């Protein structure tokens, strides 16, 4: 999206930044923010200069010493108040999500609540930061470990979950005693800005949490600035790989969550009605713009495939597509016109590649929304692993059906794919389900659960090229990612006892 000259824009309606506890007005390289359902430009967002990002880092660095030394129980009090304010303003946040992303209101509320779950988990930080202690590891020697914050840390987040994914990161990082700089997506910046203001209202000291809107210039500043100790990222695999390589080469701790091609295996003994209903939501919810969306249904046996395709085809006739802010629609628009055209291009490609397009959503027109970025649900049958629509992440309302000869064949397809984010199996057979969960080479597995997104007390992350780094997002892994373990060993010699020098390596022998 190209920047527009600032003089052609209402400067009072430009989203700036939130730095050191204050909204920072900025008209540098503003780009439009669009309501995807109408195509209307509702505001603009400034692209931060390098110096603006550096100012945010400086504010976080200045706030770190006092926040680091704030007792965890006092940090938790701020988080409890923050959670309360989030819940009080839930409808306002959800409205912003729908108007700038396009997802339907129920889906936006679901995203918001899953983010709040992480804030709730972070409220228990006093318990989560407890280390280990051992008395008398040697004669008169005690040893213990503690978890100390890193300093200034950063998050770079995607457009598809503008509230939830940032809340995967900053509540736990801040609860652990770090200060934070967030670079959210420029496509839907308003919810992250409101959430930052609510955190300040909750009593968070200035500089502990900062938001800078921007593009690659902002990202690269965060990746290269030596004051930033760690970076969390969620987005596409090519960018995740770049973030990981650049950040680690600059001495930073990095977790970079990338793309996905999530498979659902439907066994012959599955409850087909439940499986189809699950596929409908998992493939077409949020217009398929989820890293955990099911984009491939692997049906074991032709009879299973024929039944699943037939029932999906019937269900898709009743799918309600329209403005996410209106009525009881099931699916809204895609985020931008460019992304809509890209996804539609994949549908064109699938037809060229020889897949059978059972349901074609390309001709969808939504009444009174001619300029919206809508694409109807698309269903392909007889997709094969050599096709690009199978290999690549489409990130839209496109479900591919692949036919497999056996469970082993289905699992081999999944294991051979470059991504390993999420997967699931539909079956009534406990042995088959247990074998699948135990052996599949994927990070998150569902059994009769289509979107196995872990709750806040667990951690989220994939395998293979879906994750770069060793630690998952939120949950217990977040404490490990946002802290350094320090082990202290101490001894207080008995008074008056003079000891001889010991030249052997110390041991208890």
Mention every residue, 6+ apart, whose C-beta is less than 8 A from residue 132: 144, 145
Q: Give the bridge partners for 356, in sequence order.
A: 381
**Sign of CA pseudo-dihedral 396, 398, 402, 407:** positive
Looking at 89-158, list the stretches that DSSP marks H as alpha helix, in order from N- to C-terminal side: 90-101, 105-122, 125-128
**Sign of CA pseudo-dihedral 286, 112, 195, 176:** negative
Taking a C-beta distance cutoff of 8 angstroms, is the pair 252, 228 a contact? yes
Burial class (CB in 10 A: 0-12, 13-18, 19+), 272: middle
Q: What is the DSSP string of 461-497?
A: --EETTEESSS-BSHHHHHHHTEEEEEEEEE-PPTTP
Closest CA to 475 of 492, 450, 453: 453
pTM (2 d.p.): 0.94
Cα separation, 147 vs 173, in Å, equals: 12
Per-residue model confidence (pLDDT) at position 473: 96
62-67 contact pairs (CB < 8 A, 24+) = 62/207, 63/20, 63/179, 63/205, 63/206, 63/207, 63/208, 64/149, 64/151, 64/152, 64/178, 64/179, 66/205, 67/174, 67/177, 67/178, 67/179, 67/205, 67/208
Cα separation, 29 vs 13, in Å, equals: 14
Taking a C-beta distance cutoff of 8 angstroms, is the pair 343, 396 a contact? yes
| Tens place of pLDDT per residue across the chain (509 aa) | 444 444 567 778 999 999 999 999 999 999 999 999 999 999 999 999 999 999 999 999 999 999 999 999 999 999 999 999 999 999 999 999 999 999 999 999 999 999 999 999 999 999 999 989 999 998 889 999 999 999 999 999 999 999 999 999 999 999 999 999 999 999 999 999 999 999 999 999 999 999 999 999 999 999 999 999 999 999 999 999 999 999 999 999 999 999 999 999 999 999 999 999 999 999 999 999 999 999 999 999 999 999 999 999 999 999 999 999 998 999 999 999 999 999 999 999 999 999 999 999 999 999 999 999 999 999 999 999 999 999 999 999 999 999 999 999 999 999 999 999 999 999 999 999 999 999 999 999 999 999 999 999 999 999 999 999 999 999 999 999 999 999 999 998 777 667 788 788 877 66
Per-residue model confidence (pLDDT) at position 140: 85
Give, in order, the Cα–Cα distances in Å from 298 to each of 287, 401, 426, 465: 20, 6, 10, 21
Q: How many alpha carbons lie under 13 Å from residue 342 in its C-beta half-sphere? A: 12
Looking at 335-473, list the stretches that DSSP marks H as alpha helix, in order from N- to C-terminal side: 337-353, 388-391, 407-416, 430-439
The kind and range of the H/E element at 141 are strand 141-149
Parallel/antiparallel/unpaired status of strands 179-183 and 209-211: parallel
Q: What is the CA radius of gyration of the chain?
A: 25
Q: Give the bridge partners for 193, in sequence order.
A: none
> Which residues are identified as catalytic?
291
Closest CA to 3 of 45, 54, 42: 45
Q: Give the bridge partners for 425, in sequence order.
A: 265, 447
Q: How many CB atoms lie within 10 A of CB 173?
A: 29
Q: Give the bridge partners for 370, in sequence order.
A: none
Mention every residue, 6+ apart, whose C-beta is less than 8 A from residue 503: none
Domains and CATH numbers, the chain: 49-258+466-487 (3.40.605.10), 262-447 (3.40.309.10)
Taking a C-beta distance cutoff of 8 angstroms, is the pair 120, 81 a contact? no
Cα separation, 466 vs 419, in Å, equals: 5
Q: Is 156 helix (H, G, I), strand (E, B) or coil?
A: strand
């Amino acid at each position: 999206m190209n920047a527009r000259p600032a003089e052609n824009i209402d400067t009072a309606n430009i989203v700036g930044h939130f730095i050191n506890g204050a909204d920072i007005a900025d008209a540098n390289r503003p780009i439009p923010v669009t309501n995807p359902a109408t195509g209307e430009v509702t505001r603009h967002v400034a692209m931060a200069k390098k110096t603006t990002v550096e100012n945010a880092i400086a504010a976080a660095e200045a706030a770190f010493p006092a926040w680091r030394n704030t007792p965890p129980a006092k940090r938790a009090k701020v988080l409890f108040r923050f959670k309360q304010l989030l819940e009080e303003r839930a409808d306002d946040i959800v409205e912003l999500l729908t108007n700038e992303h396009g997802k339907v209101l129920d889906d936006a509320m679901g995203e918001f609540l899953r983010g709040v779950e992480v804030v709730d988990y972070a409220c228990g930080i006093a318990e989560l930061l407890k280390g280990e202690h051992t008395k008398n590891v040697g004669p008169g020697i005690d040893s213990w470990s503690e978890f100390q914050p890193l300093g200034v840390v950063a998050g770079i987040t995607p457009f598809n979950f503008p509230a939830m994914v940032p809340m995967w990161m900053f509540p736990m990082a801040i609860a652990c005693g770090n200060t934070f700089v967030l670079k959210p997506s420029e496509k839907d910046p308003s919810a992250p800005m409101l959430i930052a203001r609510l955190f300040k209202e909750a009593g968070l000291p200035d500089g502990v949490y900062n938001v800078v809107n921007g593009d690659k210039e902002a990202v690269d500043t965060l990746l290269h600035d030596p004051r930033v100790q760690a970076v969390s990222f969620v987005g596409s695999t090519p960018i995740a790989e770049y973030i990981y390589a650049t950040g680690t080469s600059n001495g930073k701790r990095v977790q970079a969550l990338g793309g996905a091609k999530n498979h659902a295996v439907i066994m012959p003994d599955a409850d087909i009605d439940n499986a189809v209903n699950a596929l409908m939501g998992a493939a077409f919810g949020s217009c398929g713009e989820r890293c955990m969306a099911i984009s491939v249904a692997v049906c074991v046996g032709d009879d299973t495939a024929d039944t699943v395709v037939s029932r999906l085809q019937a269900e898709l006739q009743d799918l309600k597509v329209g403005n996410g802010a209106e009525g009881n629609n099931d699916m809204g628009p895609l985020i931008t016109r460019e992304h809509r055209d890209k996804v539609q291009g994949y549908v064109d490609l699938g037809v060229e590649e020889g897949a059978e397009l059972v349901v074609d959503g390309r001709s969808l027109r939504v009444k009174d929304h001619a300029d919206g970025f809508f694409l109807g649900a698309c269903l392909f049958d007889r997709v094969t692993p050599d096709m690009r629509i199978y290999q690549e992440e489409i990130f839209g309302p496109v479900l591919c059906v692949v036919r497999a000869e056996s469970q082993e064949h289905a699992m081999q397809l999944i294991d051979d794919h470059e991504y390993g984010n999420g997967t699931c199996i539909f079956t009534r057979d406990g042995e088959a389900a247990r074998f699948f969960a135990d052996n599949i080479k994927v990070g998150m597995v569902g059994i009769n659960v289509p979107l196995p997104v872990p709750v806040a007390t667990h951690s989220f992350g994939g395998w293979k090229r879906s994750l770069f780094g060793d630690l998952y997002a939120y949950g217990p892994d977040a404490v490990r990612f946002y802290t350094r373990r320090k082990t202290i060993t101490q001894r207080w010699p008995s008074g008056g006892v003079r000891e001889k020098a010991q030249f052997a390596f110390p041991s208890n022998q």
